[in-house]
Amino acid sequence: MGLDNAGKTSIITAITNRFGFEEEIARLTPTRRIARDSFKFLGIEFTRMDFGGQKQYREEYLKHPEKYLMGTDLLFYVIDAQDFNRYIESIDYLEEVLLFFKEEQEYVPICILFHKFDPQLVNDRDINKRILTLKQALTRYSNAFDIFFFETTIFDIKSIMDAFSSGLSMLFEKMEMVSQLFSEISKNYNSILIALFDAKGITLGEYYRPHLQLNEKLKIYEKYIELQKRVVTENRTLLEFSDKFESGERFSGIIEVLKFGKLDFYLLFIVEEDKADLEKTISILDKIEAAKPQMENLILQIIQ
């Protein structure tokens, strides 16, 4: 949910396509009423509702909230972070939506997306200050809810996938254990990244080397999307690769497919390349195999 023009449909388009979605987004027109679609995550079917945000629709939802909001498991609320003039209007709408959930005593987890936080704004003092103030206000008045904040932009698909994945992880109790396990494993190697994705690119858990820069994260994610396509088209279960960041630093990695019945998961493991000793890098990649049983066990617990 969110005001008209906030970017809701763009976000869904980006999540569904994950690459090459720019043209489709450029063609979007305002959503009329509610656009529904469904997707599967961990074998469970979810219905996703994109609430057109124009005034007449908002009024209708708020007039009969039980008709539209009952049974919600997770709410993504999108705010156009660039549109300062409509912050208040946007908070007011959210407040009314939350009022319904309060009355129903349905404290759904809420992800608030400060969207259109485009790359050139990351270091902009003004917008950062305004977002911070808004976060403080939102935390104060809605403390009965679990609220999580994200900055997103369609120019960084990872930011959108992160927000979506984190939201979904709230619905699966044991999912946080995946990241914990990765963080443990990472201590034994010079890992840059360990991540587990489902076939649609939703993250079940991940570890990133601290202080990894945004452009490095993006580079890795783009690489992953490209390689995952290859794994699928070439029907592989394992793919090794090697590449470098803009800084020149090299990395090596593997993508491995873990199969559970009909569900495929993708394990991505990336380490710093040891220039002097490539053998060493290879042996690290071999060793990650040793951690696989633990990981598979964990996935089984989550999907049960």
Which residues in this chain contact ligand GTP in the complex, by CB under 6 A?
A: 2, 4-10, 25, 28, 30-31, 52-54, 115-116, 118, 153-154
Identify what 25 binds: ligand GTP, Mg ion, none; CB under 5 to 8 Å per kind: ligand GTP
Q: Pick between residue 50 and residue 198 the one whose CB is nearest to Mg ion.
A: 50
The answer to whether the beta carbons of residues 39 and 200 sit under 8 Å apart is: yes
Q: How far is the CB of 153 from ligand GTP (least distance, A)?
A: 4
Q: Pick between residue 31 and residue 301 the one whose CB is nearest to Mg ion.
A: 31
Q: Pick between residue 32 and residue 292 the one whose CB is nearest to ligand GTP.
A: 32
Identify what 6 binds: ligand GTP, Mg ion, none; CB under 5 to 8 Å per kind: ligand GTP
Q: How far is the CB of 27 from ligand GTP (least distance, A)?
A: 9
Burial track 121-131 (b if 16+ CB lie within 10 A, e otherwise)? beeeeebbebb
Q: Pick between residue 42 and residue 58 the one whose CB is nearest to ligand GTP.
A: 58
Q: How far is the CB of 106 from Mg ion (least distance, A)?
A: 24
Q: Pick between residue 9 and residue 186 the one whose CB is nearest to Mg ion.
A: 9
Could you list the residues that contact Mg ion (CB under 5 A)? 8-9, 31
Q: Pick between residue 13 and residue 203 the one whose CB is nearest to ligand GTP.
A: 13
How far apart (Å, rounded) are the C-alpha atoms in residues 175 and 185? Answer: 16
Q: Is the dihedral of CA 52, 58, 60, 63 positive or negative?
A: positive
Identify what 115 binds: Mg ion, ligand GTP, none; CB under 5 to 8 Å per kind: ligand GTP
Task: Kindly give the pairing relationship between strand 75-80 and strand 110-115.
Answer: parallel
Q: How far is the CB of 92 from ligand GTP (least distance, A)?
A: 16
Identify what 154 binds: ligand GTP, Mg ion, none; CB under 5 to 8 Å per kind: ligand GTP
How far apart (Å, rounded) are the C-alpha atoms in residues 218 and 158? Answer: 7
Q: How far is the CB of 236 from ligand GTP (least distance, A)?
A: 34
Q: How far is the CB of 28 from ligand GTP (least distance, A)?
A: 4
Q: How far is the CB of 1 from ligand GTP (least distance, A)?
A: 9
Q: Pick between residue 32 and residue 230 the one whose CB is nearest to Mg ion.
A: 32
